Structure 1
Amino acid sequence: MRRRPLLAAALAAALALAGCSASADPKAGPKQLTVWIMGDSSAHFEELVKPFTDKTGITVDTVAIPWDSIDQKFTTAVASGKGPDVLQIGLSKLRTFASSGALLTFDDQILAAHPNLAADRFLDGVAGKSAAIGGKVVSAPWISDTRVLFYRTDILQANGISEPPSTWDELRADAKTLAGRGKGQYGYYIPQWDSALPVIMTWSQGGQIVDSAGKISFDTPQFGKAVDLYTGLYADKSVPTNADFDQVQGFTSGVAPMLVSGPYLAGAVTSAAPELKGKWAVAPIPSGSTNASLLAGSSLGVWGSTGNRDGALQLLDYLSEPQTQLTWYKLDGQLPTVKAALGDPSLTADPFVTVYAKQLAGAKLLPLVPNWDGETGKALLDALNSIVLTGANRDTALKGLYSATNGTSVD
């Protein structure tokens, strides 16, 4: 049985209410842009765009939208016809947002007028699938993200572990050793909200979660191995079970000295505990039969009925300049999507960036299904968390997952 994509249905209804003729905020003008930025990066973004305002005279009103509120905000904007001029779009939401019809399509004329948005300027694998839906380019890649292993070198070495684990089997063994340090100590941290991790584990076993027909299918031997790894870390008591566990505090305190996360975590750790400099590092994500990680990040889209289309496209062009992307990495710890920026000596000299870039080369996108976060990804986490947190029967939980997700199309 296939789950109905609730967000997509809500967006369709919203478009009907709006009469499919949304119009931008009438207060916006040619010298003003409203930009939705996800999460807590708005202050840094204001600093980033100051040179753009100085050069063009276009002011940028930056609005911070919590990640868990973006669906509701977007649906409301579609219904009212009053959206931002530019908005940040997480890749897992790109298909749903594009299907609403609210985003501007970047046709050949637009791309020719804004050379920084040309596909060949972006990382291979980023400019195509992560920016275009149904053959139409509806966004510009902005932030690239992948997953690597963060580890406390001091704590691992103090417990007889001289090198970071290079395989998932090694990670499980090392995590168990580290969890043996005493009560309240763990070896690894699994975010209960991260639906990408079990998919990465499946990829590392040589498996896929999309079948040859382009449909979601978790019912494979490789996914079964990933489930055993995921649940095994809990069975070993190597990971915390409280849902409110803070990964930055857990890592800096040493309670959980290994975890898989994105480059943004490095800035958070450095800010929270500068005294730990030299006592932690990053390494490629552990392998199974192969090494694979997540290609994530976000794009920037333009509201289709914006009253300031030219200004919005000028802003996207500016944000896609190599120097702007390098500045954003310095300000917010977010990896560039532009090849010239990621290959700049100021980044390649950083050993952390070397690991990130190597991992990006083999990274993969989560399936661009309708509403991954609220449907397929949620069903995946519901099944796994029911096993490890409430003791649900493994086979029963997985059958429920298969029933809820099989047949969901990535087309």
Structure 2
Amino acid sequence: MRSIRVAAVGAVSLSLALAATACGGGSATGGGSNDSPRTLTYWASNQGASIEEDKKVLQPELAKFEKQTGIKVKLEVVPWSDLLNRILTATTSGQGPDVLNIGNTWSASLQATGALLPWDTANFGRIGGKDRFVDSALGSTGAAGKDPAAVPLYSMAYALYYNKQIFADAGIARPPATWSELVADGQKIEAKGKQALGAEGSNVSENIHHVFVFARQHGADFFTADGKPDFTSDGVVTAVQQYVGLMAKDKVIPAGNAEYAQNQSVSDFAKGRTAMLLWQSASANLKSQGMSEDAYGIAPVPVQSGTPGTGTQVNSMVAGINLAVFKNTHNLDGATRFVKFLTSDEEQKILNKAYSTIPPVRTAQGDAAFSTPANAVLKNTLATSAAALPQVADESQFETAVGTAVKELFADAAAGRPVTAASVKAKLAKAQQQMPAK
């Protein structure tokens, strides 16, 4: 998920949505608009630097779809801080859009509400077939063994962005490949009076994405094989302590970043205040903030030792945006045609270029725009060293509970309170207690 993207933390409980599996869904009315089959309502996620930027990208494409089909699409770009709550409200009220973007990590949770159209063989056939999409993107579309609840739209991966001039000024010849190298480089940069590594300690989504990767690198996961939460294992505790320790112990993340929640770390990097940034497909965002592509390099996210790969060498979540259709839409044919349009080769190239993301459609990836050095890093990460977040029904609660625990630990670090294995385990235990009983 995204991002210039911030996790929505719910005032609406997902457990209510899960209890309402029979009454979820959307409609062509979009909560009160004309339900003509010549009209669709579309909730798009905020992918660009602003909602207005997204409208500039999307409106010409929606006009193109209307010209081709006669179907008008009513667009609303929903901020990430609101999106999950809006979707959950729609699943319980039945008043939602026809088509919507969802963070791919939410796929299994929203699938469990019963509100989304299952993408079975017949439905995939209407948009050209399931085999058009790359396997890594399909792995984040719903629970294993079930028909996907959504279709991949944009694929992203985390990378390490680094300021070339700041590195040169600190005498650093190449980007760090391991966390120990990153800490050593960061301390050299701090000694030169620059901030080393940006982070967003109050961004629940970013917290989850990073500690998930650290956990995998320590051979741990947040759920057991049968889907039960397992937040306090030694590997998970070590992972969370190491990530927060970049601020608490190593002092390479500024203490003020504990309060960052939405794009501040990207802005700091774009303005040359920070030397390094761990972010998903950041090039378009950096460009919109005036940073030249020549000013920064991009490298794989560090690992504990060696080079990125599978297993404990995982260095990114499979990030991305999926397209979903509310099952009770009054315009299923139009909604399906719209999904087919957005996932066509032509539109995949246009939209993923605009957002500096990677097309999840195999044939669209061959475009030269996705073979730049920066995109080569992202594509290789997705193909060889990224893992999907747990595709379990309680994934959204997991993001909120553990992401908030990490946020609280960053606050402790910023205040000078010790972040120990015991304090980390206590926060994670509290987070696990907040998960639905099995």
* Same fold? TM cut 0.5: yes
AA aligned opposite 2:198: Y
Percentage of identical aligned residues? 27
The one-letter code of the counterpart of 2:89 is T
Distance (Å, rounded) in 2 between the aligned partners of 1:5 and 1:95:
19
State the AA in 1 paired with 2:288. Answer: S
Sort the Cα spacing of 1:233 and 1:400 in 2 relative to 1 into closer, same or farther, 3 A: closer
> Would you say 1:222 and 2:235 are equivalent positions?
yes
Q: Deviations over 1:71-111 (max 9, x none)?
A: 33223323432210101011222222222221112233322
Matched, 1:352 2:374: yes
- Kindly state the Cα deviation for residue 246 of structure 1 after the two structures are TM-superposed: 1.4
1:354 Cα deviation from its structure 2 partner: 0.6
Superposed displacement of residue 222, structure 1? 3.3
State the distance in 2 between where 1:22 and 1:157 align.
53
Residue 403 of structure 2, aligned match among 375, 378, 398: 378
For residues 25 and 283 of structure 2, the distance between their equivalents in structure 1, rounded to whole angstroms, comes to 43
| Conservation of the 8 A alpha-carbon contact between 1:7 and 1:71 | no
Aligned partner of 1:259 in structure 2 is 277
1:70 to 65, 78, 83: 83
Correspondence 1:398 to 2:425: yes
**1:249-288 Cα shifts (integer Å, max 9, x gaps):** 211232211011011x2111122224x3412110011111
- In structure 2, do the counterparts of structure 1 residues 82 and 44 end up closer, same or farther at CA, with 3 Å as the change threshold? same
Measure how far apart 1:132 and its partner are.
5.3
Aligned to 2:309: none
Equivalent residue, structure 1, for 2:351: 328
1:10 corresponds in structure 2 to 16
Shift in Å, 1:168: 0.7
Tell me how large the CA RMSD over aligned residues is.
Answer: 2.8
Q: CA deviation at 1:298?
A: 1.5
Per-residue deviation, residues 120-152 of structure 1 (Å, max 9, x unmatched): 111112224425565122211111111000001
Distance change >3 Å, CA 229–CA 166, structure 1 → 2: same
Supply the distance in 1 between the matched residues of 2:142 and 2:91 (Cα, whole angstroms). Answer: 20
Deviation of 1:8 (Å): 2.0
AA in 2 matched with 1:102: A
Scaled by the length of structure 2, the TM-score of the pair is 0.83
Closer/same/farther in 2, CA of residues 139 and 375 from structure 1, 3 Å limit = same
Q: Which residue of structure 2 lines up, in the alignment, with residue 178 of structure 1?
A: 189
Gaps of 5+ in 2: 1-9, 306-312
Could you tell me which runs of 5 or more consecutive residues in structure 1 were left unpaired when the two chains were aligned.
none
**CA deviation profile, 1:326-384 (whole Å, cap 9, x unmatched):** 11122222221111112333322x11111111111121111134214653433442453
Aligned to 2:196, the other structure's residue is in SS state coil
Alignment CA distance shift 1:342-1:373 (3 Å): farther
Secondary structure of residue in 2 paired with 1:137:
coil
Residue 32 (structure 1) aligned with residue 39 (structure 2): yes
Q: CA deviation at 1:161?
A: 0.2
> 1:385 is aligned with what amino acid?
F
Q: Give the drift of 1:22.
A: 6.5
Contact 1:383/1:397 (<8 A) preserved:
no
Cross-structure match for 2:288: 271
For residues 273-288 of structure 1, what are the structure 2 equivalents within 5 Å? 273-274=290-291, 276-288=292-304
1:140-190 alpha-carbon deviations (Å, 9 max, x no partner): 1111111000001111011100100011110011111111122xx310012
- Structure-to-structure mapping, 1:129-148, within 5 angstroms: 129-131=140-142, 135-148=146-159
Q: TM-score, normalised by structure 1?
A: 0.88
Contact 2:300 2:381 in 1 (8 A): yes
Per-residue CA shift, 1:185-204, capped at 9, x if unaligned? 31001211112112212223
Kindly indicate whether the alpha-carbon contact (under 8 Å) linking 1:35 and 1:61 is maintained by their aligned counterparts in 2: yes
2:115 to 102, 108, 132: 102
